[in-house]
Amino acid sequence: MLDAMSRAALNLSLSSGVASLEADAWNRLAFNGLRGDLDSRRESAFASDSLLQASSDKPLLSQRNQILAQNAAESGELALRDLRREADSNSQRCVDAAESSSEQTGFNPFVSHAFLSALEDSGCVGSGTGWTPATLIAERDGALAGAAPSYLKTHSQGEYVFDHAWADAYERAGGRYYPKLQVSVPFTPVTGPRLFARTQETRAALASGLVSAARQIGASSVHVTFPHEAEARALEAQGWLLRIGEQFQFRNDGYRDYDDFLSTLASRKRKALKRERREALTQGIEIEWLSGAAITEAHWDAFFDFYMDTGARKWGRPYLNRAFFSLLGERLGESVLLVTARRGRRLIAGALNLIGSDALYGRYWGAVEDVSFLHFELCYHQAIDFALARGLARVEAGAQGEHKLARGYRPTPTYSAHYILDPGLRRAVADYLVRERAHMLAAIAADDESAPFRKSPQ
């Protein structure tokens, strides 16, 4: 027999952002909800016909509380009002069956309240950025039961899953691709949970709620980028389109130290990496690992110069501002690792990483001097050193970069799920993704074959 909590209605709404929500409640869901790597068979209830289906034409949210949107003055960007609305009475089919079924997911700094609210409070997302926070939340009896970090987008920048061609084709055909709803961590190609909930039923309600919100707002589509594979597969079973990408990650197979890792490489590759590391640290360059209170505002000033130089050369306009880095250090402290290179008293380069419970996440790098191999040393070799010293399972070094392969970073698939409302565009994208997935899986297999590891014991 369901208890009172299970019988209570699940209320869905779009909030004005993560910063407006209570931090402890958010983090409990983000870190203690259903595991991202659950066996997909356990997720079958996610796509059950007994749940609210994303393909349904019936609005998930009540008519008297329709989602409202209006054009922001001059910028043309959609701004959301603070939304509060109750699910229809039939949404009780989505009530949670067992709150006690939650499992630990571990700490992923990018989905933390601290990280996401720092993006909002610094102004990196919000008015004028094309990233309007529109966080979908599910509440029961006033308590947070589910959430999805979602944003109303007016462009496709800062996502690392590229849909520019879809937008161009749709608009040439007379459609309007923007706005769209994006469920992601802005500017961050890191895999993690995206639909935070303790039960499959609440996750299904969130997925359905995103599609209903897109319909009522007038968005063309919903995009869930860099979820765990099981979460992406569950969305695919519910009618979303699955996309596969590739990253390169270091996997700690129980290595004692860097030399132990090197011993698994082919002789020629091993000698090349040893020479590369020696050459990077010539001319009196010293490396330092900094975390927590050891990172001062002077360090952030220097690193921001590095970041701006790299960003200007690679992207044209960097996404993050100086205020964000101060907030990051203030709010995440010991979860921040800044690897610096110093010549004498002058900082000449730095690589910014975040530390999770089982992974080191490399994010940004920059330098004010051009030193051979210093990029590889700070971003990849030092990251491996740190991960092995901490006993972390892997290093995720960000998007793209086949050069990582030669340094022991292995090809790893990434996932995204896409719900496109227009049937014509949906068919075209679905057809394209069939071919792209086959190509991507073949590329991952080929890259794995090219990895520098010994093919057989010496």
Q: Which of 106, 156, 150 is nearest to 132 (CA)?
A: 150
pLDDT by residue (tens digit) across 231-258? 999 999 999 999 999 999 999 999 999 9
**pTM for this entry:** 0.85
Q: Which residue type occupies 359?
A: A
Helix (H) or strand (E) holding 286: strand 285-290
Which pair of tokens denotes residue 404?
């990582």
For the ranges 17-21, 29-33, 148-152, which has the lowest average pLDDT? 29-33
Residue 456's pLDDT is: 62
Judge whether 417 and 242 are in contact, CB under 8 Å.
yes
Instruction: Compute the distance between CA of residue 140 and CA of residue 13 in angstroms, rounded to an integer.
Output: 12
306 Cβ neighbours under 8 A, 6+ residues apart: 349, 350, 364, 365, 366, 367, 368
Radius of gyration of the chain measured on its C-alpha atoms: 23
* Average pLDDT of the chain, as a whole number: 85
What's the DSSP call for residue 247? E
- Look at residue 40 and tell me whether its pLDDT is greater than 60: no
pLDDT for res 241: 98
Query: Does residue 335 register a pLDDT over 50?
Result: yes
Strand partners for 352: 338, 364
Mean pLDDT (whole number) for 292-308: 97
* Calpha distance 204→193 (Å, rounded): 14
Q: Would you call 373 exposed, middle or buried from its count of C-beta atoms within 10 A (0-12, 13-18, 19+)?
A: middle
What pLDDT is stored for residue 64 in this prediction?
26
Q: Is cis: bond before 59, omega within 30 of 0? A: no
CA atoms within 13 A on the CB side of 445: 6
Which of 218, 122, 194 lies closest to 421, judged by CA? 218
Q: What are the tens digits of pLDDT across the range 388-438?
A: 999 999 999 998 788 999 999 999 999 999 999 999 999 999 999 999 999
